[in-house]
Structure formats: C-alpha cells, structure tokens
Amino acid sequence: MTRLRLLSVVLAATVLSACGPGDARVDVATPPEPTPTLQHQGDLDVIREHGVLRLLLERQSDSYLPRFGDALYAEQQLARRFGERLGLDVEYIYVERFTDLIPALQAGQGDLVAANLTVTAAREVEVAFTRPIGYSRDTLVVAANHELPADHSQLQGNMAAREGTTLLEAAVRLSKKHEALRVTPVSADIANETLFDQLVDGEVDLLVQDSNVLATALAYRDDIQAGPVVGEPVPLAWAVRRDATALLTALNDYLHEYRLLGENHLPYVADLAEIRERGRLRMITRNNAATYFLWRGQLMGFEYELGERFADQLGVNLDVIVAPSHEQMLPMLLAGEGDFIAAYLVPTEERKTAATFTRPYHFASEVVVGRKAEPPMASVMDLQGRSVVVRRSSAYWHTLKRLQDMPDLDFTIVPAPSDMETQELIQAVADGRYALTVADSHILEIEMTWRDDIVGLFNLTEEQAHAWAIHPDNTQLLEAMNDYLAKAYRGLHYNLSYARYFQDPHFKPEQQAELFSPGRISPHDELVRKYATDYDFDWRLVVAQMYQESRFDPEARSWMGAVGLMQVLPRTARQYGFTDLTDPETSIQAGVIHMDWVRDRFPDDLAADDRIWLVLAGYNAGHGHVRDARRLAKRLGLDPDQWFDNVEKAMLKLSEPEYARQARHGYVRGHEPVKYVRSIRQRYLAYANLLAN
C-alpha cells in the first residue's frame, strides 16, 4: 500500500480556492518545522529513481463538512492515485500560503501543485499547466434579502474582493465600466465566511467570489445568493516545472482518462464500470453521529468509514451527498444524485419496490427508550396509557402502529418532525420534553457511550437487517458491494470501527477536585506551569483541562485516537513536530501549543475572560463548530462574544438538523463542548480555592 508521509512546512494556511487564499491565516508559534527530506528539480525519470511523487499543497486552517462531494479532497485523491499508478510513494508537502506554491515547485521542494490553480498568462511563464481539471467563474454575490440586479448596468455600491487575487482584478475591470460601483479591496487573510457575513450584515453591497467557493457556501447558507457572472470561464489546472515534460505528458494522459465523461456534478445513474471510469462513488447519507460528521476537523462516522473503504477497494474517490431529510434519500437515489444510500436503512417491502438492497452489513433491534429513572418495563403491555414520540417516516412508526392493533393495549403515537434525528429525540427524552421514544439499538448504544441518563427499557422487535440501497439497474455494483460486505462484516476493521463508535465509553466519571499532595493539584504542576507561562495561559486552568481530558493518565487514549495527558490527535501533534504523546512533557507542550493555535482562530479584541471559554470549546469540538455557534448566536439575538448562556445555547442547537444544515461544519454533538467547558470552569475555580487555602 502506498505510504503517505505528511511533512508540514508550516501549520497555518487557508482553504484552497481556484483564485487564491480562501480563509483566515494566522501565524502560529510552533517548534521548528521539519523540512522536506527530498529536494530536486528533476523530471519523471528522477522522480522514479527516488520512488516518491511530492504533492505541493497549501495547509488548510479550517475544514468544512462536504455535503455534495469535496472537490478539493477529490482532486488530492486523484493526484494520489496518479502516483500509485506509477508505483510511487506519495508525499504531501505543505506550504504556508497559496502564493508559496509556485516558488516551492520551482525550488524543487515538490513535483506537482495539485491545488487547482487558475491558469493565467503570468503563471504560464513560470510553470507548465496540465489539461484543465475544471473551470471557475468570477461571480457576484449579494445578500438573499436583496433583489438581484437584472444586468450589469444596474450594479451599484461597494464591491469587495480579496487583494492579490484574480477576483480583485475582475472587480476593478467591472468598476471601470460602471461608475456606480466602488471597489473595496479586503485583506487576503479574511475568511470566506467572514466576507459572507459582512455582506449579509450590510458592511459591503456586493462581493466578487470564485464560483467553486460560492457553490460550497450555498450548500449550507440561505442568506446569500449568486448574482451575475462577471467574467468568462477560467480554466483550473495542476502545475509542474516547465522542463518536466515527461511528467506533464503522463499527467495529461491520466487526466484525459478520468475526464472523459465531462460534468460529474450532473445527475446520472451509473453502474460499476462507469463509476470506475468516472473515478468517484457517491454515497447518500445523513449528517449525524451514526453515519457521517465532522469532529475536530476530521470526517468520521461508521457508515462513512465503511463506504470509504469500499471506494478505496474500487480505486475511486468517495463523495458524500448529505440528504436534507430521511424521506428524500430514496428519491435522490432514483434521480441519479448518488450511487448508493448508506444510512442504516431497513429493507422493508415498500422500499424494495423502489430500490435494490445489498446483503445485510448490520443488525439492530428497535428499543423503547426512557429516562434512567423510568420504572422498568418488561413487555409491550407496559406501554398501556403512555405516549411514544417517533417520526412518521421511520420504521419505528410502522412497528408501533402494528402494536396498536393488539387487544387490551391502548397507547398514543405522537409524530415527531420529519427532520428530527433519532439522537435528537433521545436528547428530548433525557431533557424531559418527551417521556418515551424508540431507537435502533445501535443508535442507543452510541448515546450511551456519551451519557448515563437514559436507558433501553425493552426490545420492541427482534434484530432487523440494515443494508445499503442502490438503483435497481446497477447489477454490477450490487455484486461488488455484496462481495465487499461479505468480507468486511465482522472483520478486523469492522469490529474495531464498531467498537469505537458503539461500545467504547466516551466519557469519564467526574470526581471531586482535591489537592494531589500539599500545595499540588496534579502530578505535573511544574511542567504545566512552564508551558502555560510560555504561552500566556493560567496554569491552573490547563491542569483542570488536563484532568478533563485524561484524568492525569499519560497513557490515555480516546475513542477517536487522541493520546496522552492533553488528548492531542497524533496527526495534530505531527504538525507541531511531536510524536511520543505518551510522554507527559511532550503531551503537555503539544496540548498548550495547540490551545494557542485554537486561540488564534478567535478575534484578538474579545475580552480574555470570554475568549478562553470559546477556545476551550474549540479545543474540544473543533474551532469551526464554535465559529458556527457564534454565527448562530448572533442570528438568535444572543451575544456571539460570550460563551456562557449565549454561544453555548447556540452550540446545543447545532445538534438539531434545522440549524446544522445551515452551518459550515454541520452537525455537532453540542452537549459535549458545553459540558466540557462547564466542567473545566468548575474544576478551575475549585483548584484556585484549594491553592489559596
């Protein structure tokens, strides 16, 4: 298997776009970064001699939840597979800024810029471009509550565009044609999301944006709209050194093969051969804790992992298509908007009339769920006189309706909103809003890895099969999926993944704060003092955080792979130059440095006492989710600068589909960062009191 070696030139960077920088860039105080182990300016023969293809990329400081496939990820995977085809190892070389990509290529730090560069005459003097990967258009963006201009002659007001990009050039050209337009150059360091917010808030009237970046934003924002196109389609391509003619020829041959079928974004129904030719497999699913979600910048989910391994086996990229609701998944499949559905579907007779189902890959029973204090139930007769809340579209509804036909059994079925996830219904039960609901046993298992305030009362059904759904015409795909699932089911990877999501506890019981020994609150006070002082953090707060993360266990490992006292992900630690996270000093240093990096993601003008709680929430769930929560807090009339009783309330709402689908980073289990921050504050205050006395 190809070895992917991640070598960081720097940490901070931007979201890639066709025209230049795309998101906030903040320099980060880190140890000296490793430099590439290999530097040369050779062509394909030299690359083959070394056995390594070096892909130059700009490091992203902010991820997002792909809802209609991830173009950036897909292009990186396409480049990786090119290297694999040549029998080469693939090495990712990250640079600090978008503008550093071409100089790094010319200096011999990498072989290929796989970053969808805009092809311009000036760049063609510096590098050789492949055949186009795609096309982009400079597009005007306006707020959704503003009327779209009928044509360019009606354009007026402030028009913002980033400095140092083709977007600003397009804005200047347009302003010369229309006197009512004024160009407002903005810093290349301003995040796309911030620019969209400024547009909605009326700080600017128009925004010139790359159509690809705009398409991503329109997948989750309904407060902006695309206006007139202000330029001709611009080709996007990969770049190599001008004298790397053999590499360029090989790349063009490869890209020609993968681009034969044209516009991949249009709906189509494709069987296995065409899927392989297109190089992409589209998985329709939902954005929730059981299937597909973003946590600390990492895409996760049991269905996602199964689908990704199947796509890898086929040698294609996996594109995830998030359905707006459960009811829309099958219509989307039949309309050609995806190749299969992976969302724990029960192959009911009704569903079988519309789609074909694979062999089962998972089994679950339907369980009645109540609060932990709920009296025990032994059978369905214990539902007498009770109310149970479920979605009409769920299999649970049909099960309960059949039970209502039983003699001497009288209970009420209350319909829940159609877009209300089962996890949200369970939360409503825990909060006391509903008395009872029904969940598949695996969904209940997920919830019980995070909490101990709910209980499964009794099984409503025997175990039922879950299967993937595909279009009835795709017989080859069905055969390939069945072969894959037969081998994967209960295999090593399946079992490890299942345990991680459904069995391993994700929370630790709280203990009362007390002195570790006279004058000490942890076994590592001196180390924490040292690094907290270096980065201007209150060391007692860091100790409280360390307790929350690991209970002072240097060998602690989380369900998602975080390691050590500060529970840093290994891939994050490598970006700072650290490897052995079980070493207390390494873990503390890496954790504090990462806290500093997260702190730099939030405005400097926030009050320090408010900023630190936002930072802690970002450390726990990912700063992107906290930024979503701040944006939502503002919409809800709350203070986006204060965590307690403000942003934390918005964070809780990001667990609800209504709000999650309008957030850049999608669903987040909001109760976890809320509980995390409150627990740390409580322990911090206790430590401060203990040391004072």
User: Catalytic positions, please?
Assistant: 549
Give me 306's structure tokens. 């199964």
The structure tokens 């036909």 sit at 405
* Distance (Å, whole) CA 490 – CA 469: 20
Task: Yes or no: say if 139 and 233 are a contact pair by the CB < 8 Å rule.
Answer: no
Q: What is the DSSP letter of 14?
A: -
Give me 418's structure tokens. 């159609």
320: number of Cβ within 10 Å = 27
Task: Yes or no: say if 229 and 663 are a contact pair by the CB < 8 Å rule.
Answer: no
Helices (H), 456-577: 475-488, 492-502, 525-534, 539-550, 570-575
* Distance (Å, whole) CA 215 – CA 83: 29
Q: Give 252-257 contacts, CB < 8 A, sequence gap 24+.
A: 252/130, 252/131, 254/82, 254/85, 255/130, 255/131, 255/133, 256/131
Task: Name the residue type at position 453.
Answer: D
Among 305, 300, 294, CA closest to 64: 294
* Distance (Å, whole) CA 598 – CA 34: 21
- Point out which residues pair with 648 in neighbouring strands: none
Among 327, 428, 346, 447, CA closest to 387: 428
Q: What angle do CA 14, 20, 26 make, to 5 degrees?
A: 30
Task: Name the residue type at position 491.
Answer: G
Task: Yes or no: say if 563 and 584 are a contact pair by the CB < 8 Å rule.
Answer: no
Task: Yes or no: say if 172 and 163 are a contact pair by the CB < 8 Å rule.
Answer: no
* Distance (Å, whole) CA 691 – CA 160: 53
Contacts of 589 (CB under 8 A, 6+ apart): 531, 578
Query: Which value, in Å, is the radius of gyration of the alpha carbons in the chain?
Result: 26
Q: What SS3 class is residue 68?
A: strand
Task: Yes or no: say if 77 and 317 are a contact pair by the CB < 8 Å rule.
Answer: yes
Q: What angle do CA 569, 572, 577 make, to 5 degrees?
A: 120
Among 559, 12, 584, 293, CA closest to 569: 559
- Point out which residues pair with 660 in neighbouring strands: none
555: number of Cβ within 10 Å = 10
Task: Name the residue type at position 236.
Answer: L
Q: How far is CA 401 from CA 152, 405, 514, 681, in A?
A: 58, 7, 53, 47
* Distance (Å, whole) CA 338 – CA 328: 12
Task: Name the residue type at position 132.
Answer: P
190: number of Cβ within 10 Å = 18
